[in-house]
Amino acid sequence: MTSRYASSFCFLVVLSLASAEDIDGGFTLELIHRDSPKSPFYDPLETPSQRVGRAVSRSIARLAGGLRSNAPGDPYADINGNQGEYLIKIMIGTPPVDIMGSADTGSDLIWTQCKPCRSCFKQDVPMFDPSKSRTYVVVSYDSPKCKVFDNTSRSSQGLCEYHASYEDQSYSNGNIATDIISLGSTSGSSIRFSEMVFGCGYDNGGAFNTHTSGVVGLGGSDASLISQIGRRYGRIFSYCLVPFFLRSSSKINFGSTAHVAGRGTVSTPLIRRSQETFYYLTLEGISINGKKFTTSGSSHGTGEGNIIIDSGTTLTSLPHDLYKQVEPAISAAIHLPKVKDPSGSLNLCYQSSGDFKAAPNITVHFTGADVELNWYNAFVKVTEGIACLTFVPSSCDEVTYGNLAQMNFLIGYDIDGGKLSFKPADCTRR
């Protein structure tokens, strides 16, 4: 799930500790694709084409939601809880209680439903009861810890209350608190982080599903899991997304294991804005079979930071001026019968069987980094015999580099170093 889009999401993943290594330098977690048999969302009755079609539909709806502009004090976690892009399994408290949260690179606050709940959505795992945790501490409004999330208020008891609202009318309200958060392992080991700030939600509702009990924010501001564990490991992480049509698990790395370097690595500046949640890059253009097409600017009035990279969005949305150049160039390079997308969501589709080898050479140009795409980064088989372009024109102010374009790249976020790196990789072997 992602904070800023009013929609459902496309690739759901569960994170668990992949090994008992550390841990002093870094650690790696396993990512399980939303449609993997290991995923709680897996439906064995769905065909591969049906799964792709649902993913595209969710992504189209999400991109239509757009970025939310927030004045100081307004909630900015506009998360649609209907179907989170990733699930992360964490544990909170002493003794630890399993929490299944929607992992989101586009939001920050970690929160879970808590007892006694005034109004909560149904969840599959037991609800966290703060009265049974020996290390749970509620935060006062005057505490600096209260200020890590933008939208808080003082309760009648002087406690710090948070308020998260979502464009799909989902919401969460509760107390800001601290407790031990652990990342667990199937081998029995765990990594413990003390005094982690999170939200204990007593009033939650909307489109959240039963497989989740809250949200784990992986964005760039102080409230996120990335920033909080960054005090120990540094604010650096990387992931390698396995193509969705394969059954292997993906990986996300933290700390020293997250560095991306070596042959083939290219890097581009991470652009920081007042809205620290999001990871902005500068898109300069796209080449089709060696011919480069450029974008004239962005919604911010300058070309710098004109696109968000987001692991939670399936499709890539482009500025209108760039898309109007790219689509005809791709169309001219492919000599196959054109057909309509059965869902009506995607613009450029072809009859094709097997791998879509008819795709032209496509290179995405970021500042200082030219990223050469594979065919499956730019085209997706929406049904048997039909492949469609996964680039769409932006329907809102912001444009997004989606996760189909990121598959089989090791992508590293060095937040403190101010750069994002791409390295071509076989993610099934990482």
Task: Examine residue 341 and state whether it is found in any structural domain, yes or no.
Answer: yes
Q: Which of 331 and 311 is assigned the larger pLDDT? A: 331
Per-residue pLDDT at 368 exceeds 80: yes
Average pLDDT score over residue span 79-85: 33
Q: What is the pLDDT of residue 49?
A: 57
Average pLDDT score over residue span 363-383: 95
Annotated catalytic residue 129: no
Q: What is the pLDDT of residue 185?
A: 43
Average pLDDT score over residue span 71-88: 36
Annotated catalytic residue 124: no
Per-residue pLDDT at 405 exceeds 60: yes
Q: Are residues 161 and 293 in the same domain?
A: no
3-state helix, strand, coil in the chain (%, to 5): 15, 35, 50
104, 168, 222, 414: the catalytic one is 104
Task: Examine residue 21 and state whether it is found in any structural domain, yes or no.
Answer: yes
35, 78, 168, 310: the catalytic one is 310
Choose the final residue of a domain: 235, 253, 271.
Answer: 253
Q: Which of 246-250, 269-273, 368-372 has the lowest mean pLDDT?
A: 246-250
Task: Examine residue 215 and state whether it is found in any structural domain, yes or no.
Answer: yes
Q: What is the pLDDT of residue 46?
A: 61
Q: Are residues 227 and 301 in the same domain?
A: no
Choose the final residue of a domain: 253, 270, 301.
Answer: 253
Give the tens place of pLDDT for each residue, 379-397.
988 888 899 999 999 866 6
Q: What is the pLDDT of residue 382?
A: 87
Q: Are residues 371 and 423 in the same domain?
A: yes
d(CA 127, CA 108): 21
Q: What is the pLDDT of residue 3?
A: 43
Q: What is the pLDDT of residue 314?
A: 83
Q: What is the pLDDT of residue 409?
A: 96
For the whole model, what pTM was predicted? 0.81
Task: Examine residue 141 and state whether it is found in any structural domain, yes or no.
Answer: yes
Per-residue pLDDT at 370 exceeds 90: yes
Q: Are residues 266 and 214 in the same domain?
A: no
Q: Are residues 200 and 309 in the same domain?
A: no
Q: Are residues 197 and 272 in the same domain?
A: no
Q: Are residues 188 and 264 in the same domain?
A: no
Task: Examine residue 1 and state whether it is found in any structural domain, yes or no.
Answer: no
Maximum average pLDDT range among 86-95, 129-138, 271-280 = 129-138
Q: Are residues 330 and 382 in the same domain?
A: yes
Choose the final residue of a domain: 200, 220, 253.
Answer: 253
Which structural domain, as residue segments, surrounds residue 373?
Answer: 260-429
Q: What is the pLDDT of residue 254?
A: 86
Q: Are residues 53 and 170 in the same domain?
A: yes
Q: Are residues 26 and 67 in the same domain?
A: yes
Q: What is the pLDDT of residue 222?
A: 93
CATH code, domain with 288: 2.40.70.10
Q: Are residues 304 and 425 in the same domain?
A: yes
Per-residue pLDDT at 82 exceeds 80: no
Task: Examine residue 4 and state whether it is found in any structural domain, yes or no.
Answer: no
Per-residue pLDDT at 73 exceeds 60: no
Looking at the 3D structure of the chain, how many domains does it have?
2
Q: What is the pLDDT of residue 81?
A: 27
Task: Examine residue 8 and state whether it is found in any structural domain, yes or no.
Answer: no
Give the tens place of pLDDT for each residue, 284-306.
999 999 999 998 755 443 578 99
Q: Are residues 403 and 304 in the same domain?
A: yes
Per-residue pLDDT at 9 exceeds 50: no
Which among 295, 280, 304 has a CA at the least distance from the CA of 419? 280
